[in-house]
Structure 1
Amino acid sequence: MQPLHIILLILGYFSVLILISFLTGKSANNSTFFKANNSSPWYLVAFGMIGASLSGVTFISVPGWVEGQQMSYMQMVLGYVLGYAVIGLVLLPLYYRLNLTSIYTYLEERFGHYSYKTGASFFLLSRTVGASFRLFLVANVLQLILFDAYGVPFWITVTITILLIWLYTFKGGIKTIVWTDTLQTLFMLISVGVCIVMIKDDLQIKNLFTYISENKLSKTFFFDDIKSGNYFWKQFFSGAFIAIVMTGLDQDMMQKNLTCRNLKDAQKNMFWFTIVLVIVNFFFLAMGILLTDYAVANGIDAHKDNLFPMIAMNGNLGIITSLFFLLGLIAAAYSSADSALTSLTTSFSIDILEIDKKQNEQTQEKTRKKIHILFSFVLIATILVFKYFIADVSVIAKIFQFAGYTYGPLLGLYAFGLFTKLHVKDKLVPIICLIAPIITYLISTYSKNNLGFDFGFFVLILNGALTFLGLLFISNHQKSKSFIIPIIMSLLGFIRALLNGFEDWRAIVFLVLGIAWFSIAASKFKN
């Protein structure tokens, strides 16, 4: 595939997106940009969210992960199902009842001003880094297959990438994104299907499902080594909590749900989105097995994030495969990045600057456009930092590891707000939310280096639990202090069970006592 072909594909693709932006951005105002005037069809939101959830990272990193981790990622995907159920049954009713534009305004109503700002700030940090990770991966691929051929430096590649996003989101915002994400998800799924069929035919596989099930890389469930990072229960519960925080407590993902006409539509969206997402992730992992076997059969030295791009673009599978790979990659990357830029603009405008409270409609629109440009530059700068400092590991692993530290305080804040009636000393909340990730890092590092126990993505749950304990400690209700020890007991009981294995009867007794203590504490909190 020649560089000129790639340029024409990119130009044609973005011409379509800009046309959609023009059509959806007519008579757009702040309500259109932030909430799409609450008029989005639920089925469009559900379908578009698939692309936003998967992103270019899933498109490239998940297939590349199979070689080293087999299909263990599916354990996390199954955990997502539990997490999305919590979102649909607990969080969405709350957000619709309060009629929120930014989901973090709940924290102000529940705890106070400092808690509100803390939650919004952690989201801004999390989403900026997460979106930059994703765009960094795609920009690297574009640099390799296109811009290096013309001697274009990496920083220009990144700038062009962000500029294209800004062009089709600056006016219509979330209303435009609901429609563009639908189109981009369709392109991405077609691309995966075409690539699977082309590799299957080249390897002369008669029955794909039989081939996958009998392949040594298809092992999905890991119950053997409880200290391993891919142990089933660690990944399952980590997946559930990652879904809750990276979707349910994330302005980016929830902003789409809040554009639905009502709560019932939003819940239907979440239900169908969950089913399709599980199926799509299975096919990404299946494609990873095919790609790995294809690389071995053809002597291609490609691993991790380089596996899919190198095979798809080397020309052996034909120009059709290269074309659809590139189309799918661009679609997956931009369906995630465009909504990230819009949600960052929304959160900073509403949560930090509070333009809806302090400015008239005309001034709000001017401010919002300036913030949109500001975050475009922030993403460019962050991606350039990753280019020169990121380690040579799977990008998807990096994203989930980072999420464990930045989304943990959000998990603790919302859990405390939803499951207790206690109030806290609001000014101390930022301190608690900064201390919890630090302690989490120290515990995780010590455990891995000295005990041989890898928390993996489970650091998110540990971080949230420590934040919860910290909030309990600074609560205004003096009686609540007596329940700090029972909750610590439950946490230690669970960790001991993980460290020693559930076959150790002492660990089981410790865990049961911890759960009993926690149940007593929880019932007291509700009263």
Structure 2
Amino acid sequence: MLSQLTPTLILGIIAAYFLLLITISYFTGRNAGNAEFFLAGRQSPWLLVAVGMIGATLSGVTFISIPGVVGAGGENQAFSYMQMVFGYLLGYLVIAHVLLPLYYKNNLTSIYGYLEKRLGVEAYKTGAAYFLLSRTIGASFRLYLVAIVLQHFVLGPFGVPFIATVAITILLIWVYTFKGGINTIVWTDTLQTAAMLSAVGLTIFSIGKAMETDLAGMASMIQSSSYSQLFFFEGGWNDPNNFFKQFISGALITIVMTGLDQDMMQKNLSCRSLRDAQKNMYVFSSVLVAAKFLFLSLGALLYIYAASIGLQVPERTDELYPMIALNHLPAAVGVLFVIGLIAAAYSSADSALTALTTSFCVDFLGMEKSGAEEQDKQRTRLYVHIGFSVLLLIIIVAFNALNNKDVISQLFKAAGYTYGPLLGLFTFGLLTTRRLSPKWVVPVCVAAPVLSYVINANSEAWLMGFQFGFLIIALNGLITFGGLWLISAEAEA
């Protein structure tokens, strides 16, 4: 099977796929100005936004990691990940009924503009800076993984150096987003979500056919396997799969990494009204739960199928899905797997590049408040877009130079710590009426993630074996909130 997927064939598939994306961008970006680039003129169909957000949420890392983790043991084993997904639903309710009304009421382009109105310029710039830092590292990490796959299977065999592969990877995003921005991404992300879920669906169908069973038979196999456990109550708080720990973490992660993230919220703010944005959130969250369950079901079937043919599960379980898709199933599965992987990675990276451009233009260049001519604003936006593309290129090349997956993974995790101050800032603004002392905002917001990291690294020794896991966001936000309280005073009547 793998011999049929030659580098030339894979390159042709990818070229055809991106030709389709560029065609979409041509029609959606023909008359696009800054209003369309930033928020699609607030005319995005809510259903398209909902479908597209699935792809943006399910990154390339998720595409191959969730199926692999099912049988790996330890954290997120079996179907325990669904406990966190159920927590997502609570988080999405908070977003739909607390954060979205706040953003629409203030008519925001960048969600961090709320921090300026409520807590002052220092809090505003700090929140926006943390977003830029975390999203730059996160997008670079995801694109780095794609670049490695393209280098190994596609461009490397033609003698193309890694830096050129990275440049091509980023250039492809730039080409179909530089004109239309969010106006284009709403449509391309919908296509990419469809490609990703189609790859998973075809893989499940092909495994069923290979094992001579139907959908009901596969469901029965999963249910009777050792991979089917969903709820974990027995291990207590020291168990990383504990239900309450996972559920609470899921809710907080959703509020912070979706509701307080410019990348994810920019699509919602492009809807015609608050009501449409809320409908988008309801549909998106429902479909996301089903999609996550589908990925976990695929993971269980991959392990069951591997056992049935005597296939040794790779030490790195992330490699199980690509191994079976490319080596042991029909060519169509391999083709759609390649498209699905590319779609999964690009659907999160393309919107990140647009969101980074938007945040920098609005939050740091003050483009919305500027009296400059529209043409000059568009030229500035174009330069910023190019600048972030080059920055991603530099970071990805630096990742490759490190040549240490553990170090790179730690950098990616460290970027997650930057969401804690955002949680603390927004919570402080929403739950109190106090005013901050401007000069201490930045020190507090820098100290909080550092203290959180130190406590997390020593939690087993200091807290009788307790591990925070994803709850580190709660600790980070709590430290930030406490620090902000200490540097604040009651607002004058």
Q: Same fold (TM over 0.5)?
A: yes
Assess, with a 3 A threshold, how the Cα gap between structure 1 residues 199 and 402 changes in structure 2: closer, same or farther: farther
Q: Indicate conservation of the 8 Å contact 1:312/1:321, yes or no.
A: yes
Deviation at 1:90, TM superposition (A): 0.2
The structure 2 residue matched to 1:120, chosen from 128, 132, 148, is: 128
- The 5 A counterparts of 1:102-121 are 102-121=110-129
Assess, with a 3 A threshold, how the Cα gap between structure 1 residues 462 and 470 changes in structure 2: closer, same or farther: same
Secondary structure in 2 matching 1:86: helix
The structure 1 residue matched to 2:149, chosen from 141, 155, 158, is: 141
How many residue pairs get matched? 478
Aligned match of 2:399: 386
Residue identity opposite 1:361 in structure 2: E
Aligned match of 2:68: 64
Q: Indicate conservation of the 8 Å contact 1:64/1:304, yes or no.
A: yes
Aligned match of 1:320: 332
Aligned match of 1:34: 38
Assess, with a 3 A threshold, how the Cα gap between structure 1 residues 398 and 152 changes in structure 2: closer, same or farther: same
Q: What CA distance in whole angstroms lies between the structure 1 residues aligned with 2:246 and 2:448?
A: 21
- 1:73 and 2:81 aligned: yes
Assess, with a 3 A threshold, how the Cα gap between structure 1 residues 398 and 186 changes in structure 2: closer, same or farther: farther
Secondary structure in 1 matching 2:488: coil
The structure 2 residue matched to 1:406, chosen from 418, 438, 442, is: 418
Q: What CA distance in whole angstroms lies between the structure 1 residues aligned with 2:27 and 2:194?
A: 20
Q: What CA distance in whole angstroms lies between the structure 2 residues aligned with 1:71 and 1:105?
A: 39
Secondary structure in 2 matching 1:291: helix
Q: What CA distance in whole angstroms lies between the structure 2 residues aligned with 1:181 and 1:15?
A: 15
Assess, with a 3 A threshold, how the Cα gap between structure 1 residues 391 and 286 changes in structure 2: closer, same or farther: farther
Which ranges in structure 2 are unaligned for 5 or more consecutive residues? none
Please say which of residues 273-282 and 346-355 is displaced more in the overlay: 346-355
- The 5 A counterparts of 1:466-477 are 466-477=479-490
Please say which of residues 167-176 and 139-148 is displaced more in the overlay: 139-148
Assess, with a 3 A threshold, how the Cα gap between structure 1 residues 238 and 452 changes in structure 2: closer, same or farther: same
- 1:448 and 2:452 aligned: no
Aligned match of 2:257: 246
- 1:195 and 2:206 aligned: no
Deviation at 1:262, TM superposition (A): 0.4
Deviation at 1:395, TM superposition (A): 9.1
- 1:270 and 2:281 aligned: yes
- The 5 A counterparts of 1:301-450 are 301-302=313-314, 303-314=316-327, 316-358=328-370, 359-389=372-402, 392=405, 401-402=413-414, 404-450=416-462
Deviation at 1:155, TM superposition (A): 2.1
Deviation at 1:203, TM superposition (A): 2.9
The structure 2 residue matched to 1:280, chosen from 267, 271, 291, is: 291
Secondary structure in 1 matching 2:238: coil
Assess, with a 3 A threshold, how the Cα gap between structure 1 residues 397 and 332 changes in structure 2: closer, same or farther: farther
Write 1 or 2 for the structure with the bigger share of helix. Answer: 1
Q: What CA distance in whole angstroms lies between the structure 1 residues aligned with 2:421 and 2:254?
A: 15
Secondary structure in 1 matching 2:220: helix
Please say which of residues 303-312 and 408-417 is displaced more in the overlay: 303-312
Q: What CA distance in whole angstroms lies between the structure 1 residues aligned with 2:451 and 2:149?
A: 36
Could you give the per-residue CA deviations for residues 247-281 of structure 1, whole angstroms, max 9, x where no partner exists? 10000010000110000000000000000000000
Q: What CA distance in whole angstroms lies between the structure 2 residues aligned with 1:395 and 1:304?
A: 18
Which ranges in structure 1 are unaligned for 5 or more consecutive residues? 480-526
Could you give the per-residue CA deviations for residues 7-42 of structure 1, whole angstroms, max 9, x where no partner exists? 111111111111111111111111110010111111
Deviation at 1:211, TM superposition (A): 1.4
Aligned match of 1:290: 301
- 1:17 and 2:21 aligned: yes
Q: What CA distance in whole angstroms lies between the structure 2 residues aligned with 1:153 and 1:334?
A: 21
Q: Which has the higher contact order (CA 8 A, sep 6+)?
A: 2
Could you give the per-residue CA deviations for residues 86-144 of structure 1, whole angstroms, max 9, x where no partner exists? 00000000000000000001100001111100000000011111112222222222222
Q: What CA distance in whole angstroms lies between the structure 1 residues aligned with 2:54 and 2:466?
A: 33
> CA RMSD of the aligned region, Å?
2.0
Aligned match of 1:183: 191
Q: What CA distance in whole angstroms lies between the structure 1 residues aligned with 2:83 and 2:393?
A: 34
Residue identity opposite 2:184 in structure 1: T
Q: Indicate conservation of the 8 Å contact 2:133/2:415, yes or no.
A: no
- 1:46 and 2:50 aligned: yes
Q: Indicate conservation of the 8 Å contact 2:134/2:416, yes or no.
A: no
Q: Indicate conservation of the 8 Å contact 1:61/1:395, yes or no.
A: no
- 1:131 and 2:143 aligned: no
Q: Indicate conservation of the 8 Å contact 1:57/1:396, yes or no.
A: no
Q: Indicate conservation of the 8 Å contact 1:60/1:308, yes or no.
A: yes
Q: What CA distance in whole angstroms lies between the structure 2 residues aligned with 1:311 and 1:395?
A: 26
Assess, with a 3 A threshold, how the Cα gap between structure 1 residues 326 and 210 changes in structure 2: closer, same or farther: same
Assess, with a 3 A threshold, how the Cα gap between structure 1 residues 341 and 431 changes in structure 2: closer, same or farther: same
Deviation at 1:210, TM superposition (A): 1.5
Q: What CA distance in whole angstroms lies between the structure 2 residues aligned with 1:48 and 1:159?
A: 25
Q: Indicate conservation of the 8 Å contact 1:62/1:396, yes or no.
A: no
Aligned match of 1:504: none
Aligned match of 1:520: none
- The 5 A counterparts of 1:162-173 are 162-173=170-181
Secondary structure in 1 matching 2:358: helix
Residue identity opposite 1:466 in structure 2: I
Please say which of residues 146-155 and 19-28 is displaced more in the overlay: 146-155
Could you give the per-residue CA deviations for residues 346-398 of structure 1, whole angstroms, max 9, x where no partner exists? 00111011122233322111110001011111112222233344755699998
Secondary structure in 2 matching 1:67: coil
Secondary structure in 1 matching 2:369: helix
Deviation at 1:321, TM superposition (A): 0.9
Q: Indicate conservation of the 8 Å contact 2:399/2:408, yes or no.
A: no
The structure 2 residue matched to 1:212, chosen from 207, 218, 222, is: 222
- The 5 A counterparts of 1:63-102 are 63-68=67-72, 69-102=77-110
Assess, with a 3 A threshold, how the Cα gap between structure 1 residues 19 and 159 changes in structure 2: closer, same or farther: same
Deviation at 1:443, TM superposition (A): 1.0
Residue identity opposite 1:250 in structure 2: D
Q: Indicate conservation of the 8 Å contact 2:218/2:301, yes or no.
A: no
Residue identity opposite 1:125 in structure 2: L
Please say which of residues 408-417 and 469-478 is displaced more in the overlay: 469-478
Normalised by the length of structure 2, the TM-score is 0.93
Aligned match of 2:269: 258
Q: What CA distance in whole angstroms lies between the structure 2 residues aligned with 1:398 and 1:65?
A: 21
Q: What CA distance in whole angstroms lies between the structure 2 residues aligned with 1:140 and 1:289?
A: 26
Residue identity opposite 2:453 in structure 1: Y
